[in-house]
């Protein structure tokens, strides 16, 4: 609580794109409620603040902290640990914090390969083969920048998390609803769900909110929306388009299928799922309309990137988490911080 | 809340104890798995004995055990035993888990240390799993007393009579205009040489007159809904264009009908029938049918001779098909077989060489009521053959056609040999691979034919040809065969060749099976519950199979199976209700989004989609508990009892001994 | 002294065919290495890819999936669904760097005890040659003690 009695609010972006920040700002006039009910003490996109300011705060003094972005480098981890100490309620906000998000697809490769592609491949003019280093002895002293971890992690893999709010980004209406709930809870007018719950989302899947017509599924081939004219009124999966909707938690109003694109699963798995991709793979494979191994293989050729298609935003939260080469690089790397 | 788990390790004499250190496993379980809830662990020589079971019962009562794990032989042997022991002691039987330490550990491994270590892991898996077991009750469903029998051949007739005689109602549905099946087409039956119709027709008449049997002939089942004890079956009664209540079976219509067509069904294409016809004279029911596709009235609007001459005015060209729905508790499928089409083997010449006959054609030839009045003559209808060859195993025991043995063709071929000899005095050759004469009187029949001078040549026939190579072959058929007993190729000139074609499943057996929720084997016969111990039940409760539909067999075996299926049904009816194993899937409506991915996962049609609520639902009485839908659900909204996710994943953790470590990610 | 690596393989069997095949192998006293530990499912169609991933992530070095031959499934056609899932799962595992030899699908009817035993023996050797999987999410080692049975597994 600050001097003016308002509970403190913080929002931080780790390995993120900024979309979650925009989603929060997108709650339109409700942002005034945030301002009226909270004191924003730390939010890099919206205001200037230094890490040392946060370090100086008493533990558990930040009532609500929304942390978005995956844990990709030592700075992300450091701030995540810091904010965990300083926050009462820490929300893994957005798909990246919840299950690794898109950055987690980096778990299919190594940091070495990533840097190689970025700095040495044809898209970069780098004749001196300069590669960024974690530390550099400058005249003024040693400069240190965060180093990248081989394995991208979700927030709860580095600190305990109170709530999960999935989405890429979470729907602004859902954010507004959660903000309202927290404000009410602080006033004693509502109770928060049990710790560890997924908030701002439903208990079923995207299909529940999708208006497309659904029949029995019999897939003879996989294709993409640009390859033909999909029927806007019919289930995308039935038309051979790999929509993740059936395995994805609802709450987003099925925005993407409504707009004509397949769901990418950003709201993550349902309560009944231990591994998002495993559930989706099981479901999709089950409805392939063939009993012949060769034909099945031919149909599966229509999904060139299996991990990418089934774990768009959920790889860090999966059972295997990262590929073998990624793990091997992680195990040989210097210990973290 | 921790469960109180009792662990019991069986020595099984030295079967397990000889390789696995049972006292050590028991000691280890009590200590290492104590934190997981194991309060007692014992090892004993024979857990399945009454003393062994008493150990469990005593511990349940005195220690208040809430879960039991037994490490012994295969659950397929003694799971019911230990479940029973738990039940007697007041613990729900499904809170007991049995793990195999014998068939899958002590009997298959030699390294004692490794086997003991594996036994520990297996027990650990069982303990972790059982924690997540729930108390379950068998599902009890009532049994409707009526029975449906599909197929009016000898197996179906036998079943119908047995059930009807016991006092409960039977519906007998038959596709053809008359019951009787293939047996009605035969002349004599082996080995007694009883006239087929003479032994069959009295039974047919009894069926027709039986107060408890509703015969629906010229009818087909189109849909089956429901589950054991409670089936709703839709039947399409095809229009006969004859009013059954007015027809007196005088057959004047048949006499006066001016149009004849080849009878492909009953006469096997050898003879003719009228367009208004009964398949044979002793047809039950006696009412004819009009073959609409060939009837002059339906084709051109003229004739109506039958109507003009019918003394009772029973002809009704306006008659419509009827859709009938019946409620039954049990169903017996006795749909019989089709004959292998020997034209698929072109080198045997059926359909090309006039004097090559299929077995069914020959039956009709021999039959006194057949197209030649029982005279065995060549295709010209006049000439008596002087030499006849009978080819065994046509389309059977042949990887190009059907791999299996059709069971009856050897006896049938011997019967043909006898009939040919008796009626024509011709020289008869039987071309066989093996002589299969297993039942009562069968081999004696074969021996008799040896004495009657039939010539048996052991060898597969290479071809039947009319192309002569020597003068004595001119104008005759020649069978080219390797006589394996003398090791020489032979060419045998004959006048007539009979192909003992094999038996095949009905051409639509797969669709019929699907409609009833059962399955066909790779060969196409209906699959029985157990090939040795339960040949007339299927995996689907309430659906039974009998006769050749289950696999090639002779008439006595078909009758026996019809009676067996009837006995099973009568037992069920008498019990009034049936208990079903509680291995089931169920869908959590709050989690189901109605994506419908599960809808075509169930071959038993147990999953329904409710469009109004946009959710799917599993019918527990139809569900067989395979768990495929549980694995397929992308939302994880379907759970399965007895093999739930939680149970399997916990067993996995236990098997990998992860339960012994402090909790990690 | 070099210790021989003893892989741990989890085998999923179906109640009607492959579990009975395993029992038959036992009845016939056919021998196979103790490295495999079996889990009984009612049907191979129950096999959830989650189970396979959990096994690999929890310390198993390999997974064998077995069921009735196509066309002979006790539940009519459910093994086909298992097969479809297996094909997709294999592609995913390959992309994740898990060697193809670690997850295998074997059809075995209730009569094929000898064949199942030989398939298990083959797979144990194949996985042995691949070495431990040691997936880093497994936590502490979950291998069996190589020492005599008298020694306890640490609690």
Residue B546 has pLDDT above 70, yes or no: yes
Superfamily of domain B338-504, CATH level 4: FAD/NAD(P)-binding domain (3.50.50.60)
- Give the chain A residue whose CA is nearest to the CA of B589: A204
Say yes or no: A331 contacts chain B, CB-CB below 8 A: no
Q: Across the interface, do B597 and A217 touch by the CB < 8 Å criterion?
A: yes
Q: Do A157 and B599 touch (CB under 8 A)?
A: no
Compute how many other C-beta atoms are within 10 angstroms of the C-beta atom of residue B473: 17
Whether residue A246 and residue B614 make contact (CB cut-off 8 A), yes or no, is no
Give me the residues of A, 95-154, that contact C with CB < 8 A. Answer: 108
At A93, list the tokens: 């906000």
Total residues found in chain C within this entry? 155
Contact partners, residue B457, CB within 8 Å, separation at least 6? B429, B430, B431, B432, B481, B483, B485, B490, B492
For the domain made up of B241-320, give the CATH fold: Alpha-Beta Plaits (3.30.70)
Q: Does A282 touch chain B (CB under 8 A)?
A: yes
- Chain B, 577 to 596: residues with Cβ < 8 Å from chain A are 588, 590-596
Q: Among B404, B433, B411, B413, which residue's Cα sits nearest to residue B499?
A: B413
Contact between A310 and C82 (Cβ < 8 Å): no
**DSSP label of A133:** -
> Residue B1: is its pLDDT beyond 80?
no
**ipTM attached to this prediction:** 0.91
What does the alpha-carbon distance between residue B125 and residue C39 come to, in Å, rounded to a whole number?
9
Using an 8 Å Cβ cutoff, are C40 and B75 in contact? yes
Q: Please answer yes or no on whether C96 and A274 come within 8 Å at the CB atom.
A: no
Provide the Cα torsion B499, B504, B506, B509; round to 10°.
-170
Instruction: Find the Cα–Cα–Cα–Cα dihedral A255, A257, A261, A262, rounded to 10°.
Output: 110
Residue pLDDT, tens place only, B240-284:
999 999 999 999 999 999 999 999 999 999 999 999 999 999 999
Cα B556 from chain centroid (whole Å) = 17
Asked whether the domain spanning B585-641 has the same topology as the one spanning B241-320, the reply is yes
Q: Among B595, B611, B646, pick the best mutation site for testing chain A contact (most A Cβ within 10 A).
A: B595
- Please answer whether residues B269 and B358 qualify as being in contact, where contact means their C-beta atoms are separated by less than 8 angstroms: no
Neighbours of B166 (CB within 10 A): 15
| Cβ atoms of B479 and B389 closer than 8 Å | yes
Instruction: Please indicate whether, in this complex, the C-beta atoms of A306 and C91 are within 8 angstroms of each other.
Output: yes
Q: Find the CB nearest A285 among C85, C135, C136.
A: C85
> Number of CB pairs < 8 Å for A and C?
89
Give yes or no for residue B570 having a pLDDT over 70.
yes
Chain C, nearest residue to A157 by Cα: C137
Residues of chain C with pLDDT under 50: 140-155
Domain regions of chain A by residue span: 8-103+150-186, 206-266+269-310
A87-93 and A62-68 strand pairing = parallel
User: Hey, what's the torsion of the CAs at B346, B351, B352, B355, to 10 degrees?
Assistant: 110
* Phi/psi-derived region of residue B151, left when phi > 0, alpha when psi is between -120 and 50, beta in every other case: left
A304 vs C contacts (CB less than 8 Å): none
By CB atoms closer than 10 A (0-12, 13-18, 19+), residue B51 is exposed
| Interatomic CA distance for residues C43 and B632, integer angstroms | 13
Q: Tell me the three state secondary structure of residue B339.
A: strand
- The pLDDT assigned to B662 comes to 61
Q: Which two tokens stand for residue A303?
A: 């999904």
- Dist. CA B16–CA A337, nearest whole Å: 53
Beta carbons of A155 and A68 less than 8 angstroms apart: no
- Nearest CB among A215, A250, A274 relative to B593 is that of A250
**Facing residues of B274 across strands?**
B260
HSE-CB for B32 with a 13 A CA cutoff: 25
> What would the two tokens of residue B216 be?
């629906």
Fold (CATH) for B5-136 = Rossmann fold (3.40.50)
Residue B663 pLDDT more than 80? no
Closest CA to B266 of B247, B286, B251, B281: B281
Mean pLDDT, rounded, of chain B: 94
pLDDT truncated to tens, each residue of chain A (337 aa)? Answer: 445 678 999 999 999 999 999 999 998 888 888 888 899 999 999 899 899 999 999 999 999 999 999 999 999 999 999 999 999 999 999 999 999 999 999 999 999 999 999 999 988 999 999 998 999 999 999 999 999 999 999 999 999 999 999 999 999 999 999 988 988 998 899 999 999 999 999 999 999 999 999 999 999 999 999 999 999 999 999 999 999 999 999 999 999 999 999 999 999 999 989 999 999 999 999 999 999 999 999 999 999 999 999 999 999 999 999 999 999 999 888 665 4
Closest CA to B280 of B172, B159, B186: B186
Selected for mutation to probe chain B from C149, C151, C152 (highest B CB count within 10 Å) is C149
* CATH class, range B585-641: alpha beta
- What local confidence, expressed as pLDDT, does residue C97 receive? 96
Contact call for B635 and A247, based on CB within 8 A: yes
CB-based burial, B492-527: b 16+ in 10 Å, e otherwise: bbbbbbbbbbbbbbbeebeebbbbbbbbbbeebbbb
Query: Between chains, do A281 and C88 touch, taking CB under 8 Å as contact?
Result: yes
CATH topology for C9-138? Rossmann fold (3.40.50)
Contact B643 C46 (CB under 8 A): yes
Q: How far apart are CA B244 and CA B322, in angstroms?
A: 14
Cβ-proximal residues to B425 (8 Å cutoff; 6+ apart), any chain: none
Percent pLDDT > 90 in chain B is 90
DSSP B194-232: EEHHHHHHHHHHHHHH-TTEEEEESEEEEEEEEETTEEE
Q: Does B118 touch chain C (CB under 8 A)?
A: yes
Q: How distant, in Å, are the alpha carbons of B113, C23, C128 from that of C30?
A: 18, 10, 21
3-state SS assignment for residue C33: coil
- Contact residues, B window 560-579, toward A, CB-based 8 Å cutoff: none
Closest to C66 measured CA to CA, from C110, C127, C3: C110
* DSSP assignment of A294-308: HHHHHHHTT-S-HHH
Q: Count other Cβ atoms within 10 Å, centred on residue B29.
A: 29
Decide if A246 and B635 are in contact by the 8 Å CB cutoff: yes
Q: What is the largest CA-CA distance in chain A?
A: 71
Minimum mean pLDDT range among A263-272, B216-225, B620-629, C71-80: C71-80
Which of A128, A127, A145 is closest to A136 using CA atoms? Answer: A145
- Which residues make Cβ contacts (< 8 Å) with residue B403, sequence separation at least 6? B397, B523
Q: Is B45 helix (H, G, I), strand (E, B) or coil?
A: coil
On whether any CB of chain C is under 8 Å from the CB of B539, the answer is: yes
Q: What are B322's strand-pairing partners?
A: B237
What's domain B147-181+196-238+323-336+507-578's architecture?
3-Layer(bba) Sandwich (3.50)
Which chains sit next to A, with 3 or more Cβ pairs under 8 A? B, C
More confident call, B202 vs A1: B202
Structure tokens at A148: 């990248």
- Cβ-Cβ contacts under 8 Å for C151 (sequence gap 6 or more): C145
Residue A269 contacts C, CB cutoff 8 Å: no
Give CA–CA dist B634/B528, Å, rounded. 33
What residue spans define the domains of chain B? 5-136, 147-181+196-238+323-336+507-578, 241-320, 338-504, 585-641
Contact assessment for residue C51 and residue C137, using Cβ atoms and an 8 Å cutoff: no
pLDDT at C154: 28
pLDDT by residue (tens digit) across B46-74?
999 999 999 999 999 999 999 999 999 99
Which superfamily is assigned to A8-103+150-186 in CATH? NADH:ubiquinone oxidoreductase-like, 20kDa subunit (3.40.50.700)
Query: B-chain residues within 8 Å CB-CB of A265?
Result: none
* One-character DSSP codes across B91-108: S-GGGEEEEESIIIIITT
Chain B residues in contact with A270 (beta carbon < 8 A): 591, 635-637
- Rounded to whole angstroms, the Cα distance separating C10 from C46 reads 15
**C-contacting residues in B 7-26 (Cβ below 8 Å):** 21, 24
Beta bridge partners of B315: B242
User: Residue C18 burial (CB < 10 Å; 0-12/13-18/19+)?
Assistant: buried
Q: What's the pLDDT at C2? A: 65
More confident residue, B628 or B523: B628
- Do B558 and B152 contact (CB within 8 A), yes or no? no
Mean pLDDT rounded to a whole number for chain C = 86
Q: Which chains touch C (3 or more CB pairs under 8 A)?
A: A, B
Taking the C-alpha atoms of residue A254 and residue B605, their distance in angstroms, rounded to an integer, is 30
d(CA C154, CA B363) in angstroms, rounded, equals 78
Within a 10 A sphere around the Cβ of B590, how many other Cβ atoms?
A: 11
**CB interface of B with C, residues 313-332, below 8 Å:** none
CA gap B412, B402 in Å, rounded? 18
Contacts of B640 in chain C (CB under 8 A): 46
Exposed, middle or buried by CB within 10 Å (0-12, 13-18, 19+), for B41?
buried
Chain C CB contacts of B648 under 8 Å are 39, 41, 48, 51
Nearest residue on chain B to A320, alpha-carbon basis: B665
Any CB–CB contact under 8 A between A294 and chain C? no
Q: What is the DSSP letter of B660?
A: G
Rounded CA Rg of chain A: 22
User: A246: which residues sit within 8 A by CB, 6+ positions away?
Assistant: A205, A206, A207, A237, A280, A283, B593, B595, B597, B634, B635
> What is the full DSSP assignment across A61-79?
-EEEEEEESBEEEHHHHHH
Q: Taking the CB of residue C150, how many other CB atoms lie within 10 A of it?
A: 12
Decide if A310 and C57 are in contact by the 8 Å CB cutoff.
no
Distance from CA of A151 to the nearest CA of B (A): 15
Residue among A166, A170, A174 at smallest CA distance from A22: A170
Please give, rounded to a whole number of angstroms, the shortest distance from the CA of C131 to a CA of chain B: 17
Class of residue B87 by CB neighbours under 10 A (exposed 0-12, middle 13-18, buried 19+): middle
Question: Tell me, what's the pLDDT at A5?
Answer: 79
Residue of B nearest to C18 (CA): B104
What pTM was computed for the model?
0.77
């Amino acid at each position: 609580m600050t001097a003016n009695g308002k509970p403190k609010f913080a929002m931080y972006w780790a390995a993120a794109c900024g979309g979650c920040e925009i989603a929060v700002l997108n709650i339109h006039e409700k942002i005034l409620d945030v301002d009226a009910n909270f004191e924003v003490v730390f939010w890099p996109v919206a205001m200037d603040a230094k890490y040392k300011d946060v370090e100086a705060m008493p533990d558990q003094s930040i009532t609500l902290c929304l942390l978005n972005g995956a844990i990709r480098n030592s700075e992300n981890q450091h701030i995540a640990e810091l904010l965990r100490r300083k926050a009462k309620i820490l929300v893994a906000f957005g798909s990246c914090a919840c299950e690794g998000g898109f950055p987690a697809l980096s778990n299919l490769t190594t940091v070495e390969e990533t840097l190689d592609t970025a700095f040495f491949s044809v898209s970069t003019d780098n004749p001196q083969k300069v590669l960024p280093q974690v530390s550099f002895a400058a005249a003024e002293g040693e400069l240190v920048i965060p180093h990248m971890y081989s394995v991208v992690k979700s927030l709860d893999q580095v600190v305990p998390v109170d709530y999960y709010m999935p989405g890429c980004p979470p729907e602004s209406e859902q954010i507004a609803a959660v903000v309202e709930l927290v404000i009410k809870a602080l006033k004693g007018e509502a109770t928060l769900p049990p710790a560890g719950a997924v908030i701002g989302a439903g208990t079923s899947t995207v299909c529940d909110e999708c208006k497309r017509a659904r029949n029995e599924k019999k897939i003879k081939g996989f294709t993409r929306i640009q390859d033909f004219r999909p029927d806007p009124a019919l289930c995308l999966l039935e038309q051979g388009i790999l929509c993740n909707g059936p395995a994805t938690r609802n709450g987003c109003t099925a925005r993407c299928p409504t707009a004509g694109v397949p769901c990418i699963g950003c709201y993550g798995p349902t309560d009944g799922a231990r591994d998002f991709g495993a559930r989706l793979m099981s479901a999709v494979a089950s409805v392939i309309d063939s009993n012949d191994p060769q034909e099945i293989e031919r149909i599966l050729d229509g999904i060139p990137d299996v991990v990418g298609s089934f774990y768009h935003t959920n790889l860090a939260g999966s059972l295997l988490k990262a590929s073998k080469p990624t793990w091997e690089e992680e195990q040989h790397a210097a210990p973290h911080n | 809340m921790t469960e109180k788990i009792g662990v019991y390790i069986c020595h099984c004499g030295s079967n397990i104890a000889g390789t696995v250190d049972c006292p050590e496993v028991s000691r280890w379980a009590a200590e290492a798995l104590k934190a997981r809830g194991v309060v007692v662990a014992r090892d004993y020589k024979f857990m399945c004995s009454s003393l062994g079971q008493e150990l469990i019962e005593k511990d349940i009562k005195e220690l208040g055990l809430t879960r039991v794990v037994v490490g012994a032989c295969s659950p397929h042997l003694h799971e019911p035993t230990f479940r029973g022991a738990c039940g007697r002691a007041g613990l729900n039987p499904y809170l007991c888990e049995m793990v195999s330490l014998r068939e899958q550990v002590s009997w298959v491994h030699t390294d004692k240390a490794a086997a003991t270590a594996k036994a520990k892991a297996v027990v650990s898996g069982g303990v972790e799993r059982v924690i997540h077991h729930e108390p379950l009750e068998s599902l009890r469903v009532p049994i409707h007393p009526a029975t449906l029998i599909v197929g009016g051949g000898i197996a179906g007739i036998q079943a119908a009579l047995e059930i009807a005689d016991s006092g409960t109602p039977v519906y007998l549905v038959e596709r053809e205009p008359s019951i009787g099946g293939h047996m009605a087409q035969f002349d004599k039956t082996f080995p007694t040489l009883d006239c087929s119709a003479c032994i069959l027709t009295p039974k047919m008449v009894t069926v027709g007159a039986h107060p408890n049997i509703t015969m629906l002939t010229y009818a087909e089942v189109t849909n089956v809904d429901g589950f054991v004890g409670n089936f709703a079956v839709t039947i399409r009664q095809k229009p006969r264009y004859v009013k059954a209540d007015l027809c007196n079976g005088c057959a004047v219509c048949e006499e006066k009908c001016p149009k004849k067509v080849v009878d492909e069904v009953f006469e096997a294409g050898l003879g003719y029938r009228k367009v208004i016809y009964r398949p044979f004279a002793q047809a039950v029911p006696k009412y004819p049918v009009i073959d609409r596709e060939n009837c002059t009235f339906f084709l051109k609007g003229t004739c109506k001779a039958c109507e003009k001459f019918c003394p009772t005015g029973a002809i009704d060209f306006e008659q419509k098909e009827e859709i009938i729905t019946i409620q039954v508790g049990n169903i017996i499928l006795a749909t019989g077989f089709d004959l292998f089409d020997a034209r698929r083997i072109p080198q045997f010449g059926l359909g090309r060489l006039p004097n090559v006959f299929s077995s069914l054609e020959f039956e009709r030839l021999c039959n006194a009521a057949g197209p030649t009045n029982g005279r065995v003559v060549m295709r010209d209808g006049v000439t008596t053959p002087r030499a006849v060859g009978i080819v065994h195993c046509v389309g059977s025991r042949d990887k190009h056609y059907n791999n299996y043995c059709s069971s009856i063709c050897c006896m049938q071929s011997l019967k043909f040999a006898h009939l040919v000899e008796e009626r024509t005095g011709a020289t008869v050759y039987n071309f066989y691979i093996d002589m299969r004469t297993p039942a009562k009187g069968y081999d004696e029949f074969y021996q008799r034919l040896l004495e009657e001078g039939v010539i048996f040549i052991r060898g597969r026939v290479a071809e039947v040809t009319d192309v002569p190579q020597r003068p004595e072959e001119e104008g005759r058929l020649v069978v080219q065969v390797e006589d394996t007993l003398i090791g020489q190729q032979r060419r045998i000139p004959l006048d007539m060749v009979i192909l003992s074609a094999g038996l095949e499943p009905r051409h639509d057996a797969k669709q019929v099976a699907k409609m009833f929720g059962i399955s066909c084997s790779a060969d196409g016969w209906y699959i029985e519950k157990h090939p040795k111990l339960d040949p007339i039940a299927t995996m689907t409760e309430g659906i039974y199979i009998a006769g050749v539909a289950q696999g090639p067999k002779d008439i006595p075996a078909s009758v026996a199976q019809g009676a067996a299926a009837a006995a099973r049904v009568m037992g069920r009816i008498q019990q009034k209700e049936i208990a079903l194993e509680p291995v089931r899937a169920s869908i959590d409506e709050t989690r189901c989004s109605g994506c419908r991915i599960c809808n075509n996962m169930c071959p038993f049609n147990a999953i329904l989609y409710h469009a109004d609520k946009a959710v799917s639902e599993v019918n527990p009485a139809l569900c067989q508990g395979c768990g495929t839908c549980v694995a397929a659900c992308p939302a994880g909204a379907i759970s399965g009892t007895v093999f739930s996710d939680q149970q399997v994943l916990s067993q996995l953790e236990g098997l990998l001994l992860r339960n012994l470590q402090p909790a990690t990610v | 002294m070099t210790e021989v690596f003893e892989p741990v393989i989890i085998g999923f069997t179906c109640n009607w065919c492959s579990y009975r095949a395993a029992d038959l192998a036992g009845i016939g006293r056919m021998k196979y290495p103790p490295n495999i530990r079996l889990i009984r499912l009612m049907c191979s169609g129950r096999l959830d890819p989650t189970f396979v991933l959990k096994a690999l992530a929890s310390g198993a070095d390999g997974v064998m999936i077995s069921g009735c031959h196509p066309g002979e499934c006790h539940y009519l056609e459910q093994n086909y669904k298992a097969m479809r899932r297996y094909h997709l799962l294999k592609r995913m595992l390959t992309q994740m760097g898990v060697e193809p030899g670690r997850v295998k699908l074997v059809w075995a009817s209730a009569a094929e005890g000898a064949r199942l035993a030989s398939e298990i023996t083959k797979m144990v050797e194949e996985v042995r040659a691949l070495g431990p999987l040691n997936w880093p999410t497994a936590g502490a080692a979950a291998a069996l003690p190589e020492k005599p049975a008298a020694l306890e597994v640490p609690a």
